[in-house]
Amino acid sequence: MAGVNQVIMLALSMVVTAGLLGAAGLGAVVVRAVTQLDVASGFEGGLAVVLLAIFLDRLTGAFTQRPALSRLRAARAAAGTRAAQVRG
């Protein structure tokens, strides 16, 4: 899942570069704002890219976390294995 996360972050970093080449989207908004010296619009477009990156990072990070119940079961299994090793 870490690889998927890295691919998403790389794609988002290429948004502005693609905007420089004429692609539509958030990158075009940022490039247009920078070329026209429109600070507010550039900040708005850049903030949108950053918020999207943070959201997708947290979303893919949540997929890598095991649920609390699974962690509890794993801890109990490990404790049982350790107890069996001590007894044996």
pTM (2 d.p.): 0.65
> What's the pLDDT at 33?
92
As given in the structure block, the two tokens for residue 66 are 């095991």
> What's the pLDDT at 16?
85
What's the gap between Cα 1 and its chain centre? 10
Which residues are CB-contacts of 73 (< 8 A; sequence separation ≥ 6)?
Answer: none
As given in the structure block, the two tokens for residue 68 are 């609390």
Which amino acid makes up residue 82?
Answer: R
For 53, the enclosing helix (H) or strand (E) is helix 39-64
Which residues are CB-contacts of 22 (< 8 A; sequence separation ≥ 6)?
Answer: 28
Per-residue pLDDT of the chain (88 residues; tens, 9 = 90+): 778 888 888 888 888 889 889 888 888 999 999 999 999 998 999 899 899 999 988 888 887 776 655 666 777 777 766 555 566 5
